[in-house]
Amino acid sequence: MEKYKKYINLAYLVIFIGMVVLAYTTSKYRPESVLVLFTDPSWLGDWPKWLDFPLMPFLNKWFDILIVKYGIMFEGINFFLLGLYGKMKNFLVGLPWPLLMISVILLAYVASGRNMGTTIMVAFCVFFLGFLSPRYWDKCIMTTTIVIIGMLLCLVIGIPIGIMMARNKKVRNALLPVLDLMQTIPSFCYLIPGILLFGLGAVPAIFAIFVYAVPPLIRLTDLGIRLVDTEVIEASEAFGASKKQTLWGVQIPLALPNIMQGINQCTMMSLAMVVIASMIGTRGIGDEVLLGLQQLNVGMATEAGIAIVLLAIIFDRITQSYGEKIQERTQKKKVFNVQD
């Protein structure tokens, strides 16, 4: 990689010069001659109008072409995700609230390794969701459904990408700037392409959750696999394990604590995004916060905010406790044993 740094820096310089030339030649405010720039220094005071990169027209044209060519594909994705969301939401809403509450508490009990402290905390949070206001129960189920579907997309796509990054340096070097960009862009900006591609409702929220929450999962999956001790990998290969067997039998099990940390971060970011998605008509607990702000109703906004915090605690305790349980198991297995 070191020997290519000069060429990479030269490529950056060429791209920069090309952008400046493109901005100058395409601007309708450019001076009649380049010599004016040297004879009239007034353009040094304020940013010149002719130095404006035409990014907005390019993006608008690109999105128009994308919708025209692949509109049927996006409609199919919209139909599938909307149907999945509707069936899952109707199933969870149709369950008796005591049964759903007991199921969540049992899930926390098993995931935490029978930790009573975590189980009691989750039980308190689940009960208090409905205790705050009966209408929050169904709203929280809607929000949870969107978060679960968004998380499933992150798991299905994010973990394989993280594995590819860990096993291929070229893929990793190519994707790291993309992940940096995805984590730098403000969260509500992801709603714009979601609306253009899928319209209003739950599906653009799921799309925004995926784009916003998948980077930490990819990064931590990549990190976890790269942190696996090389001696353990060499030992497995010495016993005749193939690359595929080493990946599934050694690297992924030992990387599970980091992957679970990524899932935990991904879950928290998904919940944050689904609240922001209430601005585009996504039903859930987020629209209660938005309604409270619009009506200047401090009580409503505060109640809904507390419900969001309780929901976040439930997600965090379940995923974090399961990750800690896996980490304890991993620490006990410092040496990979191969049995005939």
Tell me how far apart the alpha carbons of residues 338 and 86 are, in angstroms, rounded to a whole number.
46
Q: Where in the chain is the domain with CATH 1.10.3720.10?
A: 71-332
Q: Which CATH class is domain 71-332?
A: mainly alpha
Tell me the longest C-alpha to C-alpha distance in the chain.
84
pTM over 0.85: no
pLDDT in tens, the chain (340 residues): 555 666 677 777 888 888 777 777 777 777 777 777 777 776 677 677 777 777 777 778 888 888 888 888 888 888 888 889 889 988 988 888 889 889 999 988 888 888 888 888 889 888 888 787 778 888 888 888 998 998 899 999 999 999 999 888 888 888 888 888 888 888 778 888 888 888 778 888 888 888 888 999 999 999 988 888 888 887 887 877 778 888 888 888 888 888 888 888 888 888 888 778 887 777 888 888 888 878 888 888 888 888 888 888 888 888 888 877 777 776 665 544 444 4
Residue with tokens 């499933």: 152
